[in-house]
Structures are given as C-alpha cells and as structure tokens.
Amino acid sequence: MIRPRFRTPRVGPALALALTAALGTVLALGLRQPAPPPDSAAARGTPAPAPALAGATLDGGRFDLADARGQVVLVNVFASWCGPCRDELPLLVDADRRWSPQGLRLVGLNVRDGADAVRALLEQTGAQGLTVLPDPDGTRAVDWGVRGVPETFLVDRDGRIVDRQRGVVTGQWLEQRVAPLLAR
C-alpha cells in the first residue's frame, strides 16, 4: 500500500519573526496603561496620614518621620541608577537650603541600591548632607505606594501626605506646593 505523503509546511525564520513581533505589539498595547496623573491628596480634600518612616540612615544616624512633626517634609524616593533622580537632586537640595529656616526637611528614601553607589551620587550632585534612609528591598517604598522613581511626597506639619509628584519635581511644583505650606 502506498501512503500519500503530506508535507508539513515549514515556517520560515522571517515569518516566525513577524508573528513574534505582531504578538509582542498586541500584548504591549493591551497591557500598556496610560501614565497616571500627578496624585494630589490635597486636591481630593483628604490628606492621608503618612506611613511610618524610621530607621538607620546612610550615614549611621537615625531618622523618624514622627519626630519631624511641626516641620514640612519632602520625602524623595530615588535611586542612583535613575537618571531623572540624578537630575532632580540638586533642585531638591537647593529647596532644602532655601526653605529649611522656615521648617522644611528633605529626606531621601533610596530604593534597591548599594551604599557606595548612593554616596557617589550624593557627592556628584552636591547632596552629601541629605538624610537618606536605605530601602534595599523596596518594602518601605511599597508602604508609601511608590510606583517608580523618582517620586516625591509632601508631608505637612501634622504628618499627613498632602501632595505627591510621580516623576521629576520642578521648581514650579515646589513653589506651588511647598511655599504655601511653609507660610502657614
């Protein structure tokens, strides 16, 4: 008995690549979410109590957000491997120098980084005096609801988050958000 031979069609490398690219594009478009707008607790009219933030600092000291009551605190979440973080640090340090006499306190929450890399970043950006809490596994950042770096939280004198900026802060953002809190 002679059996008919059926040939299995071969998928060429070009067709396989095209199918993979098409599938990747469909998945990327389907999973992509629009960037969230800057979140403002103040805009919602409900400042939220800031999560606990305490522990050993990069320089061996201690920091506890609860001890900063009565001050306006900027909590900046950053990493040495983040280019935009590197770009915004000098602006934040300048704001701290400018407004610390009126009660501003700048604190860095450093995520998923090594101490040497952070120290190098601080030196390169003129931020050696910054209080930095290491968060090597990112758990503190998760407690704060961080979605990425950089992200900055504005905590009022009563310990409530009244504003937050996802992404790089600007001089305009600082003027509009920080200055009015310090004037109160």
CA pair distance 171, 125, nearest whole angstrom: 17
Tens digits of per-residue pLDDT, 143-152? 999 999 999 9
Report, as ranges of residue numbers, the positions in the chain whose pLDDT lies below 50. Answer: 11, 15-43
Report yes or no: 85 and 93 within 8 Å, Cβ to Cβ: no
CA pair distance 164, 75, nearest whole angstrom: 9
pLDDT confidence of residue 46: 84
Tens digits of per-residue pLDDT, 92-104? 999 999 999 999 9
Q: What angle do CA 133, 116, 143 make, to 5 degrees?
A: 25
pLDDT confidence of residue 12: 58
pLDDT confidence of residue 92: 97
The pTM score is 0.76
pLDDT confidence of residue 184: 86
